[in-house]
């Protein structure tokens, strides 16, 4: 925890300004009310207040390392009493001793100086008390800020842990389906199985490469999604039709990695599996009032019973968007007229992380 005065140029200037005002006030009182010469007024004010200002910087350490016990304050009070007495004794002895040596021939001033020891000590004690109170307030404020920063760091760690958990649910699910498909192709069509293994390897390498980087440009993410669809097309052939419509302003927009894969997987799971006719999976992306709107839609037959899945795909995507964009993004889905659509809003101006 840094010193509240010496920690920044601004606080040093404020501290110095306050003591300069105190010096000037004391000098004017000595000069016009007590009738001392300018030399005595300036010397006394400068020496006394400069020394107390320097000693006042040291008051931070008792306030910093002597915590105030609300339920048993006796120890804190006694400790500050001792520290205050030591500081006041040092201040009075040093300042009065130097002034006595400087003005040895000014008997009137020396008499005043010796008579003023009591009120000097009293004022010094009050100033010490004020400094202690200020330092305690600053210390508590710094502790509160540090606690707030720790809580923010903890929230980020929790958020990252949730994202990692969601990713760990998505990736094995896709890998399980792909390996099953490769297994079925090895005997029936070894060449396509080999191509599928290569594409799967590239796809998984991308997933691992960006494990520590939560966001990638949209065009890079869609490039890997096209690899994924190419893998699935090996399985389904002409039965799976895919098309993309991307506005040029969206191509470099950063999106969470692997955010679209479970949606494409969901479209295939609930439409291509159940249909004999070709099924179209359409992806469209365009700007929308400060957001980027991405829509994934696919044909489906409402009369065919839905294929049972694990249920994590859409919910995981929604949760990842909420976490990644701190509640600013959204995911909605609906099905009507034989078309199932998932609409995703990505905030364009939100600073992530």
What is the rounded distance in angstroms from the CA atom of residue 350 to the CA atom of residue 345?
A: 12
What is the rounded distance in angstroms from the CA atom of residue 244 to the CA atom of residue 253?
A: 16
* E-assigned strand segments in 178-239: 215-217
Please name the residues in contact with 303: beta carbons below 8 A apart, sequence gap of 6 or more: none
Taking only the tens place, the pLDDT of each residue in 66-80 is 766 655 677 778 887
**CA torsion through residues 249, 220, 322, 311, sign:** positive
According to CATH, the topology of domain 189-347 is: Heat Shock Protein 90 (3.30.565)
DSSP for 147-187, please give it.
HHHHHHHHHHHHHHHHHHHHHHHHHHHHHHHHHHHHHHHHH
Residue 193 contacts residue 181 (beta carbons within 8 Å): no
Exposure string (b/e) for 314-334, b if CB count within 10 Å is 16 or more?
A: bebbbbbbbbbbeeebebebe
pLDDT of residue 244: 94
In angstroms, the Cα distances linking 328 to 257, 268, 318, 346 are: 18, 28, 11, 8
Q: How confident is the prediction along the chain (353 residues), in pLDDT tens digits per residue?
A: 678 888 888 889 999 999 999 999 999 999 888 888 999 999 999 999 999 999 888 888 887 777 666 556 777 788 878 888 888 888 888 988 898 888 888 888 888 888 888 888 888 889 888 888 888 888 788 788 888 887 777 676 666 666 555 555 555 666 776 788 788 778 888 888 888 888 888 877 777 665 545 788 999 899 888 888 887 887 777 888 999 999 999 999 999 888 898 888 888 877 876 677 888 899 999 998 889 999 999 988 777 666 555 456 788 888 888 878 878 888 999 888 888 999 999 998 764 44
Residue 254 contacts residue 292 (beta carbons within 8 Å): no
CATH 3.30.565.10 placement within the chain: 189-347
pTM exceeds 0.85, yes or no: no
Taking only the tens place, the pLDDT of each residue in 251-304 is 999 998 888 988 888 888 778 766 778 888 999 999 988 899 999 999 887 776
């Amino acid at each position: 925890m840094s010193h509240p005065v010496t920690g920044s140029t601004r606080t040093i200037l404020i501290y110095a300004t306050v003591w300069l005002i105190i010096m000037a006030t004391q000098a004017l009182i000595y000069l016009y009310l007590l009738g001392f010469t300018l030399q005595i007024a300036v010397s006394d004010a400068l020496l006394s207040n400069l020394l107390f200002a320097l000693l006042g910087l040291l008051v931070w350490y008792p306030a910093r390392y002597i915590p105030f016990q609300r339920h048993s304050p006796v120890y804190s009070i006694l400790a500050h009493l001792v520290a205050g007495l030591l500081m006041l004794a040092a201040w009075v002895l040093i300042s009065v001793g130097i002034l006595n040596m400087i003005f040895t021939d000014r008997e009137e001033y020396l008499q005043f100086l010796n008579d003023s020891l009591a009120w000097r000590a009293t004022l010094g004690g009050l100033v010490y008390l004020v400094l202690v109170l200020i330092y305690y307030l600053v210390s508590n404020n710094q502790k509160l800020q540090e606690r707030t920063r720790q809580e923010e760091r903890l929230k980020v760690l929790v958020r990252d842990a949730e994202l990692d958990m969601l990713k760990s649910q998505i990736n094995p699910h896709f890998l399980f389906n792909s390996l099953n498909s490769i297994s079925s192709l090895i005997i029936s069509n070894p060449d396509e199985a080999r191509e599928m293994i290569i594409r799967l390897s590239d796809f998984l390498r991308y997933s691992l490469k960006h494990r520590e980087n939560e966001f990638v440009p949209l065009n890079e993410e869609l490039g890997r999604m096209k690899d994924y669809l190419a893998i699935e097309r090996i399985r389904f052939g002409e039965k799976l039709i895919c098309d993309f419509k991307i506005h040029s302003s969206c191509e470099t927009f950063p999106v969470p990695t692997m955010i679209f894969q479970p949606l494409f997987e969901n479209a295939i799971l609930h439409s291509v599996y159940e249909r004999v006719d070709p099924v179209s999976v359409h992806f469209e992306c365009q700007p929308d009032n400060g957001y980027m709107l991405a829509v994934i839609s696919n044909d489906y037959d409402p009369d065919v019973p839905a294929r049972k899945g694990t249920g994590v795909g859409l919910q995981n995507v929604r949760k990842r968007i909420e976490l990644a964009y701190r509640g600013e993004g959204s995911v909605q889905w609906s099905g009507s007229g034989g078309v199932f659509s998932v609409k995703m809003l990505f905030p364009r101006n939100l600073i992530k992380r």
